[in-house]
């Protein structure tokens, strides 16, 4: 994946920041496991695994902390 997609961590709203955090997490998986078929096969396994889903949520939360800090927690 060589396309430039992350040009800024600055977002208009906390919701947009959260959506960016989710995208960052998804892109990380795509960059780590480049084979689309393998990702699809693995998705069928982890979508039914509560521990895996909680771990994915933790990764998103970590990215959201980063985005929130970059946005000064959306304070004026």
Residue 42 makes CB contacts below 8 A (sequence gap 6+) with: 33
Domain span holding position 47: 14-70
- Report if residue 75 sits inside a domain: no
Q: What is the C-alpha to C-alpha distance for residues 76 and 67, in angstroms, rounded to an integer?
A: 16
**What per-residue confidence (pLDDT) applies to 1?**
54
- Report if residue 55 sits inside a domain: yes
- Report if residue 8 sits inside a domain: no
- Report if residue 7 sits inside a domain: no
- Report if residue 4 sits inside a domain: no
- Report if residue 22 sits inside a domain: yes
Q: Is the pLDDT of residue 72 over 80?
A: yes
Number of folded domains that form the chain: 1
- Report if residue 31 sits inside a domain: yes
- Report if residue 38 sits inside a domain: yes
With bands split at pLDDT 50, 70 and 90, how would you rate the model's confidence at 76?
confident
Q: Structure pTM?
A: 0.90
pLDDT digits (tens, 9 = 90+) for 15-70: 999 999 999 999 999 999 999 999 999 999 999 999 999 999 999 999 999 999 99
**What per-residue confidence (pLDDT) applies to 3?**
85
Q: What is the C-alpha to C-alpha distance for residues 51 and 55, in angstroms, rounded to an integer?
A: 6
């Amino acid at each position: 994946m060589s396309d430039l997609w992350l040009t800024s961590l600055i977002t208009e709203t906390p919701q947009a920041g959260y959506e960016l955090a989710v995208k960052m997490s998804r892109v990380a998986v795509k960059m780590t496991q480049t084979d689309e078929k393998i990702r699809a096969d693995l998705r069928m396994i982890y979508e039914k695994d509560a521990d895996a889903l909680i771990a994915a949520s933790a990764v998103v939360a970590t990215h959201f902390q980063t985005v929130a800090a970059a946005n000064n927690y959306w304070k004026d």
